Amino acid sequence: MYGYYVDEDLILEDGSALPDSTTGTSTAVKLNPNTNGRVQIDIYANTDIAIATGSAFFAELLAGATAATCVAPITNGHTYIVHKTSADDAIAFDSGDLIASYIVPANLANYVQLGYSTDEDLSAQKIDVFARYLA
Domains located in the chain, CATH noted: 8-133 (2.60.120)
Q: Is the distance from CB of 59 to CB of 128 less than 8 angstroms?
A: no
**Mean pLDDT, the chain, as a whole number?**
88
For the segment 50-107, what is each residue's pLDDT rounded down to a tens digit? 999 999 999 999 988 888 888 878 766 788 999 999 999 999 999 999 999 998 887 7
* Residue 20 one-letter amino acid: D
> How would DSSP label each residue in the chain?
--SS---GGGEEEEEEEPPBSSEEE---EEPPS--TT-EEEEEEESS-EEE-TT--EEEEEEEESSSTTTTEESSSS--EEEEE-TTSPPEEE-TT-EEEEEEEPTT--SEEEEEEEESSB-TT-EEEEEEEE--
